[in-house]
Structures are given as C-alpha cells and as structure tokens.
Amino acid sequence: MKKLTPTIEPLYYKDGALFLLDQRELPKEEVWLKIEKLPQLLDAIRGLAVRGAPLLGVAAGYGVLLGLSYCKSAGPGELMEFYSRVREKIAASRPTARNLFATLERMDKIVEECADRAPATVKMRVREEIDQIEREERDSCRAIAEFGLPLFMGFSRAITHCNTGVLATGGIGTALGVIHAAHAFGKLKLVWVDETRPLLQGSRLTAWELGRLGIPYRIICDNMAATLMSRGLVDTAITGADRIAANGDSAN
C-alpha cells in the first residue's frame, strides 16, 4: 500500500514543553497550547482540548514525563511515592479512556524497574517508551487502513460518525484512516459526515480533516443517517469506537 501521511501533528514535545493543537478551537482557528506543567495537561484533557483514545494514551505518557520533571530525589522510595501521586492525577483526568490507563500500566513497569536509578535515567526511559507508543499507534493506523481498504469496491459513498482521524490518534486515523486510504486509491466518491452531537466532533473535526485531505464530504445532522441509508445513498458505514472486542462488540 502506498505511504499515507497525516496532514498535521496534533501534539509534539520540544525543549521540555508539550505543544497541543487545541481541538476546541477548530475549525475556526488553529491554536496551540504550550504545556509545561502537569496541571496544564490535566486541564487540557478534562476540557477536551486533546481527545481521542489513542492520542490520550500518548498524552498520558507525556503527563508522566512532565510530572516527573519535578522529582529531584534519587531515593527509590521517594521516586515511587512521587510517581504514584503523578499517576493518580493522570488516571483521574479521564477515567473512561482505556488507552490512557494502558500507557500508565507501561509506565508502572518502567518506574518499578528503574526505581533505584537517578530521576534523569527514569525520565529518559519514560521518553523512550512514549516514542514507542507513538510508533505503535502510527503502525496500527496504517494496518487498519490496509485491512479496511477492501471494504471499498469503487467510488463508494461512505458515512462516518465522530472523529477518528489524526486528531484522535496521531497517525492517519482508524476509521478515518481507512477513508483516507480509499480516497488515495480512487475508491471513494463522497463521505457523509454525521455532526456528532453534542460536541460536534464530526462537523467540526472530521470535516476539517477531510477538507485538508481534499476528500469530498457533506455534513448531515445525526438523525439523517437512517434516511440516507434507506434511500440507497450510503455504500459503506465505518466508525471508530473506544473499544472493539474480538467478536465485534463495540463500546462507545
């Protein structure tokens, strides 16, 4: 499959600070938040400035890094106690986000393994793990796009809900990554975009991403979806979810 690249990087780390694209301001303007302290990141997560399960997993890793930046002690007991407080705050910021907790579980192992080392070493290992998580998310998005592409038989009219693209994942997206691939391979005619009430992630964010990709779309109110399907105007429906079980059961 040809290489597909995200149109924007929704978060990045530079010179000790995390920069987040504030998704609350889209599509009106692109506002970047400079996050230098953990409380700022927690506010951004709670306020939905950053959202999407995979991206929240990455953000949680940076939260640990920001939180540990205030730990100067090399004592194992103090380091573990300090990390426990940081972890608790991050976990409370979005209790329903499984990716966030998956990241924290990976960080638990790192801190336990490095508890007797200098804080600088622990932070270096944390940063390496964040980079690995980001790579895994990008690879996962590409794999989903590759597996999902055969669902589109040619000039399909697709419908999607919420936002599952780069803004939610950091990669090309999950469901929206498949749509990206279908367009790149000439298999997509149009995307019907549910507005996705009450926060309008579809009409604000998915439409914004599709516009950047040059993919034709039309925004519809959520309760139009069944009517479009009944009239034969939808060939493929593809959405993301917080979690999808091996048997196909979906949550949120």
Whole-number Å distance between alpha carbons of 225 and 10: 29
How far, rounded to the nearest angstrom, does the alpha carbon of residue 9 sit from its chain's CA centroid?
Answer: 11
User: Which secondary structure element, helix H or strand E, spans residue 80, and what is its range?
Assistant: helix 76-93
d(CA 220, CA 203): 8
Tell me the catalytic residues. 242
Integer-rounded Cα Rg, in Å, for the chain is 20
Angle between helices 76-93 and 98-113 (to 10 degrees): 180
What DSSP character marks residue 169? H
- Bridge-based pairing of strands 17-21 and 188-194 is unpaired
Residues 166/122, Cβ–Cβ less than 8 Å: no
Partners of 160 in the β-ladder: 193
Judged on CB neighbours under 10 Å (0-12, 13-18, 19+), 29 is exposed
C-alpha pair distances (Å), 171 with each of 43, 56, 74, 106, 149: 24, 13, 36, 20, 16
